């Protein structure tokens, strides 16, 4: 196979207020025709910049290629004018993006935007382009393509939009498809569908794919070769078998060890790479990874390692070879010493005598009216949560999973009385919350706190973090200013931040640190219950691990009970004692964490678990994914709501809603034909 794309020593600079900033340096990589190469690394590693440099989209962001060449099929892209590039963009090379919702122009129809790509590069009439576009939409698996052509982006789901995006990218049969985190914003089930589609299309169109991802599981599943980037440099390059078998660079090793899988032991502490990626303005000397590297020596501090050829692969580490030799076999299978924390909790969990309920929820429903206006009555109700019953025990972590639109977040908000329940009862520490008046609730609120998803949006940017963390204390406790400050500083320390950072503002912190601020605020009042709504979803894998470890430490020290809502299934499995699975407002299964993953009874749970990419290239799993998408909650299917997507559905499922039954002790499921 010949090289389709060849990057040699590419350096990209950005013009900023403080002069030139080098975003990526000396990046060399090749992609052969028909090959899939994955670019992995944490956010800030330069993956996206590299891809935008190839498309020369950096030109629009005050960036320029200051050194090196990017040769696509014999043409050096780095030297072309924008006019010449336009002939190649969308035709020879195309790109799909992370957030399909934001990647379409909201005021033009889908059809219009796909046709635009066709008309730009092909000499065809509009009606021909129209037919081509319909054909493309059909090919990427969009039902009713003619109708979709006339729809606007806000009328399609994220999964559908990403398919449409792919259709648009394929419009002129590109040879290179760059996919920048194409599934990060999507549910795991849809992710699986999209990845499968990309695999099929790659063969069909005989194109090469440069896939950018932070998910090692996706890389393992898709890639022929993997390139690991860190702080703007390539640190390792190997075939995916080689890389997973024996990562050479300490950073790669760290990344692989940060992954939790279905096989990892829940009692173990999650591995995390300490610290975070350095900002462009403050690059460490020598090897850029040395401040976070456990093996760093004096040499690493002084000299920057080049990419060495070792064992038929490339690594930019001074000690790569020795490390591999001395610690042969180290890798993802290495077991961290288990921490004793979880064990006593397990005992407590199994001894029925000591079971103390914190939350007892019965028949809880939450419905929102739709189409309600000033003069119109609600035309229908959306049952976001429908007749849900479960309990949360004191000291446990209850996980809640399900696709977006399943009602997990709504359930969390209703539990905390941030929204009023439409029906049902919520008993919290024996108290019926739904009957309380706002003033009475105030007292109990201090016992229930929240950690939010978005560490950027959930703190006031104009407040010092000391004030942010101290606010709950202001509201609920009458403290002297100095006492309060002392309390806040202790909290800062408890969540792994420095006492002296009291006066800093949120923008001075990284995402992970901000999430720590959010956690400090949540535990400020010594609550008994904390709702973590997608609290780690926006963070990089290694930072995710840091936060999860912190949450578990705090749980042990403060006796907290968590409701952990997330769509990252492995992380939920790791942190939760029991897990509830939601689908279209209904709880469909509850079981102990391991039990649920080992013996899922509901076919939806099974589908969810099977959709998770496995970070092991040798275990290319059977392409399996749940078909279709979650239906609209405004008009849920009859009978078992899952029957439209269920592989085991029968006539009975269509008519009769399944009863909530206990198939084993502590394992509940709502299914007529549990697996």
Applying CB under 8 A, the residues found at the interface with other proteins are: 52, 55, 57, 60, 82, 85-91, 94-95, 97, 99, 102-109, 116-117, 120-121, 152, 154-155, 165, 168, 373-376
Q: In terms of CB distance, is 116 or 553 closer to other proteins?
A: 116
Nearer to other proteins, 174 or 617 (CB): 174
- Between 105 and 144, name the residue whose CB sits nearer to other proteins: 105
Residue 31 or 426 having the CB closest to other proteins: 31
Per-residue CA distances from 309 to 210, 254, 314, 316 (Å):
22, 21, 5, 9
Please state the closest distance from residue 12 (CB atom) to other proteins, in A: 16
CB closer to other proteins, 11 vs 109: 109
Mention every residue, 6+ apart, whose C-beta is less than 8 A from residue 66.
11, 12, 13, 22
At closest approach, how far in Å is the CB of 152 from other proteins?
A: 4
Cα–Cα distance for residue pair 87/101, rounded to 1 Å: 26
Q: In angstroms, what is the minimal distance from the CB of 167 to other proteins?
A: 12
Instruction: For residue 84, give every residue at least 6 positions away whose Cβ sits within 8 Å of its Cβ, in sequence order, or none.
Output: none
Nearer to other proteins, 88 or 592 (CB): 88
The CA distance from 456 to 268, in Å, is 30
Indicate the residue among 370 and 558 with the shorter CB distance to other proteins.
370
Question: Among residues 91 and 394, whose Cβ is nearest to other proteins?
Answer: 91
Q: How far is the CB of 61 from other proteins (least distance, A)?
A: 9
Torsion of CA 470, 472, 476, 480, to 10 degrees: 0
Phi (first) and psi of residue 439, to 5 degrees:
-65, -40
Q: 332-339: long-range contacts (C-beta < 8 A, 24 or more apart)?
A: 332/244, 332/256, 332/257, 332/259, 332/261, 332/615, 334/257, 335/265, 335/268, 336/268, 336/269, 336/271, 337/268, 338/265, 338/267, 338/268, 338/269, 339/267, 339/268, 339/269
Closest separation in Å from C-beta 86 to other proteins: 5
Residue with tokens 């009713």: 144
Work out how close the CB of 209 gets to other proteins at its nearest, in angstroms, rounded to a whole number. 15
How far apart (Å, rounded) are the C-alpha atoms in residues 19 and 24? 16
Residues 193 and 177 sit within 8 Å (Cβ to Cβ): no
Minimum distance from CB of 153 to other proteins (Å)?
A: 8
To the nearest whole angstrom, how small is the minimum distance from the Cβ of residue 115 to other proteins?
11
d(CA 549, CA 544): 9
Taking a C-beta distance cutoff of 8 angstroms, is the pair 540, 548 a contact?
no
Query: In terms of CB distance, is 379 or 627 closer to other proteins?
Result: 379
Cβ 170 to other proteins, closest distance in Å?
A: 12
Contacts of 435 (CB under 8 A, 6+ apart): none
What separation in angstroms does the CA of 585 have from each of 311, 376, 420, 633? 53, 26, 16, 8
CB of 4 to other proteins, least distance (A): 18
Rounded to 10 degrees, what is the CA torsion of 185, 188, 190, 195? 90
Residue 89 C-beta: closest distance to other proteins, Å: 4
Of the two residues 86 and 427, which places its CB atom closer to other proteins in the complex?
86
Exposed, middle or buried: residue 375 (CB in 10 Å: 0-12, 13-18, 19+)?
Answer: exposed
Q: Report helix, strand or coil for 179.
A: strand
Q: Looking at the DSSP assignment, which residues form a beta bridge with residue 359?
A: 392, 428
Of the pair 59, 67, the CB lying nearest other proteins is at 59
């Amino acid at each position: 196979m010949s090289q389709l794309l060849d990057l040699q020593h590419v350096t990209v600079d950005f013009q900023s207020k403080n002069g030139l900033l080098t975003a990526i340096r000396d990046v060399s990589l090749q992609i052969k025709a028909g090959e899939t190469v994955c670019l992995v690394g944490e956010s800030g590693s330069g993956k996206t910049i590299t891809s935008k440099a190839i498309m020369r989209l950096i030109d629009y962001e005050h960036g320029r290629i200051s050194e090196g060449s990017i040769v696509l099929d014999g043409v050096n892209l780095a030297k072309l004018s924008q006019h010449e590039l336009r002939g190649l963009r969308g035709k020879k090379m195309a790109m799909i993006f992370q957030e399909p919702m934001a990647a379409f122009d909201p005021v033009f129809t889908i059809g219009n935007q796909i046709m635009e790509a066709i008309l730009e590069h092909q000499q065809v009439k509009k009606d021909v382009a129209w037919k081509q576009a319909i054909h493309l939409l059909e090919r990427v698996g969009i039902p009713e393509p003619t109708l979709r052509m006339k729809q606007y982006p806000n009328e399609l789901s994220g999964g559908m939009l990403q398919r449409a995006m792919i259709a648009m990218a394929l419009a002129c049969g590109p040879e290179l498809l760059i996919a920048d985190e194409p599934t990060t914003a999507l549910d795991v089930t849809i992710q699986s569908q999209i990845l499968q589609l990309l695999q099929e299309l790659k063969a069909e169109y005989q194109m090469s794919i440069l896939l950018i991802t932070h998910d090692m599981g996706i890389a393992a599943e898709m890639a022929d070769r993997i390139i690991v980037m860190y702080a703007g440099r390539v640190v390792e390059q190997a075939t995916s078998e080689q890389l997973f078998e024996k990562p050479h660079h300490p950073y790669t090793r760290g990344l692989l060890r940060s992954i939790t899988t279905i096989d990892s032991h829940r009692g173990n502490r999650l591995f995390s790479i300490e610290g975070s990626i350095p900002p462009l303005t403050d690059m460490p000397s020598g090897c850029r990874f040395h401040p976070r590297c456990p093996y760093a020596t004096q040499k690493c501090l002084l000299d920057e390692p080049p990419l060495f050829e070792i064992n038929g692969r490339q690594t930019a580490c001074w000690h790569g070879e020795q490390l591999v030799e001395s610690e042969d076999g180290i890798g993802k299978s290495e077991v961290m010493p288990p921490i004793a924390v979880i064990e006593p909790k397990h005992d407590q969990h199994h001894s029925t005598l000591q079971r103390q309920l914190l939350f007892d929820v019965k028949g809880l429903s939450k419905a929102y009216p739709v189409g309600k206006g000033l003069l119109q009555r609600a035309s229908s109700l959306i049952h976001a949560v429908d007749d849900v019953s479960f309990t949360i025990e004191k000291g446990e972590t209850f996980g809640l999973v399900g696709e977006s639109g399943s009602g997990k977040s709504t359930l969390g908000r209703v539990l905390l009385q941030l929204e009023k329940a439409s029906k049902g009862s919520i008993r919290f520490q024996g108290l019926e919350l739904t009957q309380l008046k706002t003033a009475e609730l105030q007292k109990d609120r201090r016992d229930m706190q929240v950690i939010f998803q978005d560490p950027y949006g959930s703190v006031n940017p104009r407040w010092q973090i000391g004030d942010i963390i101290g606010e709950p204390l202001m509201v609920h406790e009458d403290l002297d200013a100095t006492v309060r400050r002392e309390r806040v500083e202790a909290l800062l320390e408890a969540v792994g931040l420095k006492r002296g950072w009291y006066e800093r503002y949120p923008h001075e912190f990284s995402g992970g640190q901000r999430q720590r601020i959010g956690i400090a605020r949540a535990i400020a009042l010594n609550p008994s219950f904390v709702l973590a709504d997608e609290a780690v979803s926006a963070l990089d894998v290694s930072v995710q691990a840091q936060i999860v470890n912190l949450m578990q430490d705090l749980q042990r020290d403060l006796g907290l009970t968590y409701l952990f809502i997330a769509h990252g299934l492995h992380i939920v499995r790791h942190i939760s004692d029991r897990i509830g699975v939601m689908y279209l407002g209904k709880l469909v299964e509850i079981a102990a964490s391991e039990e649920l993953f080992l013996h899922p009874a509901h076919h939806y749970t099974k589908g969810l678990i099977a959709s998770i990419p496995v970070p092991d290239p040798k275990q290319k799993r059977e392409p399996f994914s749940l078909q279709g998408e979650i239906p609209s909650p405004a008009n849920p299917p009859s009978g078992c709501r899952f029957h439209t997507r269920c592989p085991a559905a029968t006539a009975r499922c269509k008519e009769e809603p399944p009863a909530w039954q206990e198939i084993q002790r502590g394992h509940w499921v709502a299914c007529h034909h549990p697996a």
